[in-house]
Structures are given as C-alpha cells and as structure tokens.
Amino acid sequence: MSDAAKKVMDLAVRLAENHDLPDDALYTLITERNEETALFLRNEARALCERIYGRFVYIRGLIEFTNYCKNDCYYCGIRRSNREAERYRLTEEEILSCCEAGYGLGFRTFVLQGGEDPYFTDERLGSIVASIRGLCPDCAITLSAGERSHDSYRRLHDAGADRYLLRHETADPCHYGRLHPESMSFDKRMAALKDLKEIGYQTGCGFMVGSPYQTASMIVKDLRFMKEFGPHMIGIGPFLSHKDTPFYDMENGTAELTLYLLSVIRLMMPKVLLPATTALGTVTEGGREAGILSGANVVMPNLSPAGVRKKYMLYDNKLSSGSEAAESLELLRESLSKIGYGIAVSRGDSLVI
C-alpha cells in the first residue's frame, strides 16, 4: 500500500473505533478515498448496523400525496416553474386506501411526501393524519411536506404524526443559495428542523450527494451538522438531473460516493435510521441492495396509486416499478434475501434518544 493509501486507511480505522474524526481528517477520508478504504468502511458499517438492528431492513410505505409546489428549487422536477409537470393531489380517501393496502402488505409506517402545497392547510392535512391514526393505530405516520410554521408542525403532531422528514439539503449557507431561489432561506430551513425536533418528532434531515457546486468541504459540513443535530433519520441519495429544471445539464451524483458516505454516516451515527433511497436505486442497478450492504437499514417502496407515480418526477427516470413498488414487496423480499436480509414488519422506531 502506498503511503497515501496507508494514511487514508488509518483514518478509516480511527473512524470505525471512535465514531468521529476531526473535520480535516473527514475531508481527507473523502477526497483521498480508494477502493480498499471503501471496502473496509463498508464492512465495518454493515457489521455495526447488524449489531444494532440485526439483519433486518425496515420498510416505509411512501405515498406521494401532491406534486403541487410553491417553491422553485433549481434541482427539483416538481418545482413551481416547471410547466411540463402534470399536477395532481390525492384525496383523503385515496390516501387512506393506500394505507389500507399497505397495511395488508405489512407496512407499519406511512410516509406522506409532497411538494409545499398550500391546499394542504393544517386542517386538511391534520384531518388526514387523524384518519390514518384512527385506521392504523399501531402504525407510525411520517410527514415530508416541507417547511411549515412551528404552530403547524405542532398541530400535525397533535393530530398524530410521529415523524417528519425535512432534508437540510446542504449545511453550507452559500451552497444553499446556489441550489435555491432567493425567496428560500437557509436559516429558515435549519430553524424548521430545530422546531420539529423540539416538538418531539422523530426527525430526519439529509442532503443530495453530488448536487451542483457541492465540494468535499461542504460534505464535511453536512456530516458535522448532522452529528451535532442528532437526527433520528438521515436521507441521502445522488443528485440526478431533471430535464425541465435549471440544472438540466448538471452532472449526476454517483452511486460510489453515496455508498461511501452511507458507510461514513453509519459509523459516525451508529443508531441512525438510514434509507437506501430511490435515487440510489435509480442511478445504478442494485443500488438499494448495495446501500444496505454499505450500512443503510431502511427502504421506502412506493405506495402511491399507480396512475400518479410517473407524475412525481423529482428527477429523470425515477424508479417507481419493480421492487421499488410496494405491491411488489415479494420482489424486494427476494432481492434482500439474496443478500441475507429480511424485512421487519414493525414500526421501526429510531433508537436515537
């Protein structure tokens, strides 16, 4: 092994032992990564995850309940300015029947994700949450509906929502400004995350890997922010361009770096819930399984009605069929069993206190 490779391997060993490294060492671990270190980190991350969660993967039924959005994020296919997007919103009845079908399939967590759609006032969204709570008292309800006020988050929590996913997108304020229009604010996003945690949600943050203008030192900031914030869940996936956005010709993030970072995150935050995301499954064949083998322990199959799936296009070629689809849970079960994992039929609560 060359001296440079030894140095990186030494850092990887320290990360596995101490569950943290100084920022400059994390930077080197990212910029000077090599296949041997990646393999070492992957095996350590996977073994650590297995000690905590066993050889089980938690499943979450993803219901993409609206693709209307008042925001205009430069990377996102359902941004307000995309006139090509065919807009839809699901009715309460449709959402409830997704949950019912999902319950029968073995889902005990439902994730309602959507654009920031003003139609879903606290009353409307709260009533949907309360109905799901009534229908499936033993299930966890996760919302992922963007930024709302403290009061709104509290009301939805009172209505029965347990968890909230709000990716921070980047922990670097300048980078945030390059991914979003001026009407959106880094400080507001971060404040929203703090509100969620304070109200008592199991809270998820996260970022895109390889988003435009992202550098290794920004990723170090993301890791540091997350370690300090202490989220219950972390969602990361490669940035993938969408043809009808300002970032249509930007380079995609890679599976390689995403998998590497999944391992780093698992080692830094052993108990965190870490999904192998749809974007990871989209960027490369077998991406989700590779994610599990790199330290992820959650997958979120799509439970949305078949007719709307193609309309929730955050990026080009987004997967929504095959083992990505909740009704083909058998396919997912097979592909996970091939790598030695089973599916847990449980809420899969976070072990992070």
User: Which residues sit at the interface with ligand SAH, rule CB under 6 A?
Assistant: 75-76, 113, 115-116, 144, 146, 166-167, 169, 208, 237, 239-240, 242, 279, 314-315
Q: Which is nearer to ligand SAH, 199 or 336 (CB)?
A: 199
Per the annotation, binding residues are: 69, 73, 76, 144, 169, 189, 240
Half-sphere exposure of 276 (CA within 13 A, CB side): 31
CB of 178 to ligand SAH, least distance (A): 14
CB of 53 to ligand SAH, least distance (A): 24
Please report where in the chains the tokens 């996760």 appear, as a residue. 142
Per the annotation, binding residues for [4Fe-4S] cluster are: 69, 73, 76
In terms of phi and psi (left: phi > 0; alpha: psi -120 to 50; beta: otherwise), the region of 161 is beta
Q: Which is nearer to ligand SAH, 75 or 260 (CB)?
A: 75
Q: Which is nearer to ligand SAH, 186 or 239 (CB)?
A: 239
CB pairs under 8 A, 24+ apart, for 52-57?
Answer: 52/270, 52/271, 52/351, 53/297, 55/340, 55/341, 55/342, 56/297, 56/341, 56/342, 56/343, 56/344, 57/292, 57/297, 57/298, 57/299, 57/336, 57/341, 57/342, 57/343, 57/344
Q: Which is nearer to ligand SAH, 160 or 212 (CB)?
A: 212
CB of 66 to ligand SAH, least distance (A): 9
Q: Of 150, 100, 92, 83, nearest to 120 (Cα)? A: 92
Q: 233 φ, ψ to 5°?
A: -135, 150
Q: Which is nearer to ligand SAH, 46 or 318 (CB)?
A: 318
Token pair of 317 as six digits? 């070629």
CB of 142 to ligand SAH, least distance (A): 12
Quote the CA–CA distance of 75 and 40 in Å, as a whole number. Answer: 33
CB of 173 to ligand SAH, least distance (A): 17
Quote the CA–CA distance of 251 and 310 in Å, as a whole number. Answer: 22
Q: Which is nearer to ligand SAH, 241 or 297 (CB)?
A: 241
Residue type, 64: E
Per the annotation, binding residues for (3R)-3-methyl-D-ornithine are: 144, 169
Per the annotation, binding residues for S-adenosyl-L-methionine are: 189, 240
Quote the CA–CA distance of 91 and 127 in Å, as a whole number. Answer: 12
CB of 239 to ligand SAH, least distance (A): 5
- In angstroms, the Cα distances linking 326 to 61, 98, 139, 288 are 7, 10, 16, 14
